[in-house]
């Protein structure tokens, strides 16, 4: 479309105070898409001043291009200055063609794949009327009890930042006025994933040093990638809710990081300042949020009912209102809305793009690349000529595998396990048995017996287990992250009846699988894989695709290990005995040890990758120099595969306690059968920096190690020194 020449400052000069304030208000489409008569009751119940309704500047929660156009047409006809609305929506893992949840996409360790998925979603979403997406969500996480871990890329700040920045660039492109792109909004600033006890919306108490070391980097990576908008988090951070946190929004975000984009509240976050106990007054809540830098108030009454009043009484200057409004108008200009209020959306384009074969193929490939083969004693891949196949478990023929935030995706669009295997093996004899529920309820022994009988008569069994979609995502924290219900008991029955059983998991978080790991010959984690999940799982199980995903959030042996994460600091009394022994007077657990069942970086393949060597071209460096690290990996098998080569660093001695290792580089490489790949990383002094006790970002001279492998299985380690 090209850059707009529309004069936003001239428009601003024509606006009344109420019209200006309106640009800073976002309401649900159900309010602004109807007549005042239709929504007077709901607005009164909501407490919103309906005289402000004609001036509202943006909306969310609409459904498709037809509704979007109707709302925009009505608004443009009634707005005195014909200022278009901007339409926003959560496109977390796809618009209509749904690809795997973000935690799964992180497991792909493939920024190019994430880029491809995000571009696909941008095309579909833009065609469907979305102009801004509330993506990426880059909250750093350590506690699998928190339901929204499914929206992140896991427990590593570097990986989270790489994947977040890739999404920003893919959604926004070079020009957000391009109808194939849209503006992105990074969320939730800050440390939303640090919720105490893994309970959503809960308080967060974290030192500034840990914030800067672990929680801030991914947000900053997205800002450096040019993200257009930012959303503060619901939680209080060190006693102050993020939406009213002067240090967070003013000192760090605007002054230190120089972010000058649009800041938008989360849903009713300004109104929730009253529930936090910060203020009992909606007017004061509006003042606090606005003065601390929140430009748009999403779904609360604060700005609509009180912002103009605050200006007229002199509490807030109109000049400050103008600054915020101009940012919103500039966003609309950058989107090209003054020339095309629809941003290129059309019913024909939406229909042509959504669920098209090209997009389904991308979604299938993403599901294959994101799946993690947690365990395999050799039974996978299954032979395609298997005569009698038993498909057992609550996900055996279950299409509810989109995951939370499926946007416009529909359950009926998804391929179940049965559908995927039937598509791949149309002539196979397949017997399906649900066996039990995947919810926390009990089931009769007769269903177990039927499942065991079917398993015993089959040549191979695929046991499909997991948690329901609604057990993860926003508001869905779990105190117990074992397999829900009686699925472990079902697994014992089925595997006892037929040892040739492969388990397939569908889940939105790491689960406690210690009992299952002890008895299952093979475990393939599909996460919530999206539209093409069943087809992807079938191809992986029968060898048409080769697993290559790696764990990005540690699977604990027991819920009591949470929070558990690979990049933890050592203590003065670390555990030194073997993992299956308890060590008194050391930092260790009785009964399950300290290590994860499946740690960060773990993931198997049908190929056999042998790490042959790791070499450094020098053993010391000074600032301005770099060390080249060369790792050789051989594929000692008869099939090609992809391996994620990981590079870890450990600062042995420093002025603050450092993590036992930190991921500083990764590359996903395809290696042919019998071939060897050489992977090279460059290590520079800035990669060694950390925040000291006074929160200075420094590197300190001394000894470091570099390692390759994965978190709890480092295969090669070499030392080097950073000189003064």
Contact 118, 184 (CB under 8 A): no
Helix or strand run (H / E) with residue 524: strand 522-525
Give 425-430's long-range contacts (Cβ < 8 A, gap of 24+).
Answer: 425/384, 425/389, 425/538, 425/542, 428/386, 428/389, 429/387, 429/388, 429/389, 430/389, 430/390, 430/391
**Phi-psi region for residue 406, left (φ > 0), alpha (ψ -120 to 50) or beta?**
alpha
**Nearest residue to 218 (alpha-carbon basis) of 309, 311, 270, 153:** 153
| Residue for token pair 């105190």 | 479
**Nearest-angstrom CA–CA distance, 153 and 108:** 10
**Nearest residue to 358 (alpha-carbon basis) of 527, 531, 529:** 531
Token pair of 228 as six digits: 């257009």
What does the DSSP 8-state code read for residue 150?
A: G
Token pair of 533 as six digits: 């999940």
**Nearest residue to 67 (alpha-carbon basis) of 134, 123, 128:** 128
What does the DSSP 8-state code read for residue 249?
A: I
**Nearest-angstrom CA–CA distance, 473 and 405:** 8
| Most distant CA pair in the chain, distance | 81
Give 655-659's long-range contacts (Cβ < 8 A, gap of 24+).
Answer: 655/692, 655/693, 655/700, 656/209, 656/690, 656/691, 656/692, 656/693, 657/569, 657/570, 658/569, 658/690, 659/567, 659/568, 659/569
Cis before 37 (ω within 30): no
Spatial neighbors of 467 by CB under 8 A, at least 6 apart, are 438, 483, 484, 506, 507, 508, 509, 511
**Nearest-angstrom CA–CA distance, 98 and 358:** 13
Report how far apart, in Å, the C-alpha atoms of 428 and of each of 385, 414, 657 are: 8, 21, 58
Q: Is 427 noted as a catalytic residue in this protein?
A: no
User: Helix H segments across 256-403?
Assistant: 273-276, 282-291, 302-312, 318-334, 347-353, 357-370
Strand-strand pairing, 86-89 and 58-60:
parallel
> What angle separates helix 111-127 from helix 357-370, to the nearest 10 degrees?
150
Report how far apart, in Å, the C-alpha atoms of 164 and of each of 134, 173, 328, 529 are: 12, 14, 23, 19
Token pair of 546 as six digits: 């080769």
Backbone torsions φ then ψ of 608, nearest 5 degrees: -110, 105
580, burial (CB in 10 Å: exposed 0-12, middle 13-18, buried 19+): exposed
Q: Which of 266, 397, 413, 712 is catalytic?
A: 266
**Nearest-angstrom CA–CA distance, 469 and 399:** 10
What does the DSSP 8-state code read for residue 529?
A: -
- Terminal Cα distance for the chain, rounded: 53
Active site residues: 266
């Amino acid at each position: 479309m090209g850059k707009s020449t529309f004069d936003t400052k001239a428009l601003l000069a024509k606006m009344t105070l109420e019209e200006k304030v309106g640009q800073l208000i976002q309401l649900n489409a159900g309010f602004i898409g109807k007549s005042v008569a239709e929504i007077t009751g709901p607005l009164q119940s909501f407490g919103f001043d309906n005289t402000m309704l004609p001036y509202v500047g943006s909306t969310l929660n609409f459904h498709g291009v037809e509704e979007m156009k109707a709302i925009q047409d009505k608004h443009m006809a009634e707005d005195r200055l014909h200022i278009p609305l901007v339409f926003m929506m959560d496109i977390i893992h796809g618009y209509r063609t749904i690809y795997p949840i973000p935690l799964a996409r992180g497991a792909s360790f493939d920024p190019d794949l994430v880029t491809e998925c995000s571009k696909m979603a941008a095309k579909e979403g833009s065609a469907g009327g979305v102009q801004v997406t509330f993506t990426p969500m880059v909250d750093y996480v350590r506690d699998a009890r928190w339901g929204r871990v499914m929206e992140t890329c896991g427990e590593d700040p570097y990986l989270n930042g790489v994947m977040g920045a890739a999404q920003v660039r893919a959604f926004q492109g070079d020009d957000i006025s391009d109808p194939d792109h849209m503006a992105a909004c990074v969320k939730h600033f800050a440390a939303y994933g640090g919720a105490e006890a893994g309970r959503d919306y809960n308080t967060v108490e974290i030192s500034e040093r840990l914030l800067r070391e672990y929680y801030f980097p991914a947000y900053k990576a997205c800002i450096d990638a040019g993200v257009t908008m930012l959303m503060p988090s619901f939680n209080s951070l060190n006693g102050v809710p993020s939406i009213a946190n002067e240090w967070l929004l003013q000192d760090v975000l605007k002054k230190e990081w120089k972010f000058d984009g649009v800041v938008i509240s989360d849903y009713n976050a300004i109104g929730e300042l009253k529930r936090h106990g910060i203020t009992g007054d909606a007017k004061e809540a509006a003042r606090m949020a606005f003065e601390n830098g929140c430009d748009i108030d999403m779904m609360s009454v604060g700005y609509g009912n009180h912002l103009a009043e605050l200006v007229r009484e002199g509490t807030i200057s109109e000049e400050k209102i103008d600054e915020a409004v101009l940012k919103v108008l500039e966003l609309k200009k950058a989107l090209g809305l003054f020339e095309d209020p629809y941003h290129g959306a059309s019913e024909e384009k939406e229909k042509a793009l959504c669920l098209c074969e090209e997009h389904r193929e991308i979604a299938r490939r993403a599901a294959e690349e994101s799946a993690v083969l947690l365990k395999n004693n050799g039974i996978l891949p299954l032979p395609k000529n298997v005569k009698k196949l038993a498909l057992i478990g609550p996900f055996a023929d279950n299409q509810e595998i989109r995951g939370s935030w499926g946007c416009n995706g529909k359950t009926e669009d998804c391929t179940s396990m049965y559908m995927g295997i039937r598509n791949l093996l149309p002539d196979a004899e397949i017997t399906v048995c649900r066996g039990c529920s995947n919810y926390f309820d009990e089931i009769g022994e007769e269903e177990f017996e039927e499942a065991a009988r079917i398993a015993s008569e089959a040549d191979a069994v695929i046991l499909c287990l997991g948690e329901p979609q609604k057990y993860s995502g926003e508001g869905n924290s779990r105190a117990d992250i074992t397999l829900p219900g009686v699925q472990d008991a079902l697994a014992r029955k089925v595997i006892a009846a037929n040892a040739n059983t492969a388990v397939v998991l569908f889940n939105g978080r790491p689960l406690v699988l210690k009992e299952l790991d002890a008895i299952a010959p093979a475990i393939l984690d599909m996460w919530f894989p999206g539209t093409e999940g069943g087809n992807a799982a079938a191809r992986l199980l029968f060898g048409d695709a080769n697993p290559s995903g790696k764990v990005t959030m540690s699977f604990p042996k027991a819920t009591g290990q949470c929070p558990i994460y690979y990049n933890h600091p050592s203590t003065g009394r670390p555990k030194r005995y073997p993992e299956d022994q308890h060590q008194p007077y050391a930092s260790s657990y009785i009964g399950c040890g300290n290590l994860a069942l499946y740690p960060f970086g773990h993931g198997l393949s049908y190929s056999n990758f042998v790490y042959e060597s790791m070499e450094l071209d020098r053993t010391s460096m000074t600032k301005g120099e770099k060390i080249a690290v060369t790792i050789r990996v051989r594929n000692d098998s008869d099939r090609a595969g992809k391996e994620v080569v990981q590079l870890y660093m450990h600062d042995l001695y420093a002025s603050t306690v450092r993590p036992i290792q930190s991921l500083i580089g990764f590359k996903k490489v395809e290696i042919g059968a019998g071939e060897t790949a050489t992977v090279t990383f460059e290590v520079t002094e800035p990669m060694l920096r950390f925040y000291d006790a006074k929160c200075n970002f420094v590197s300190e001279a001394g000894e470091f190690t570099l390692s390759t492998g994965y978190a709890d299985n480092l295969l090669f380690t070499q030392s080097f020194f950073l000189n003064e």
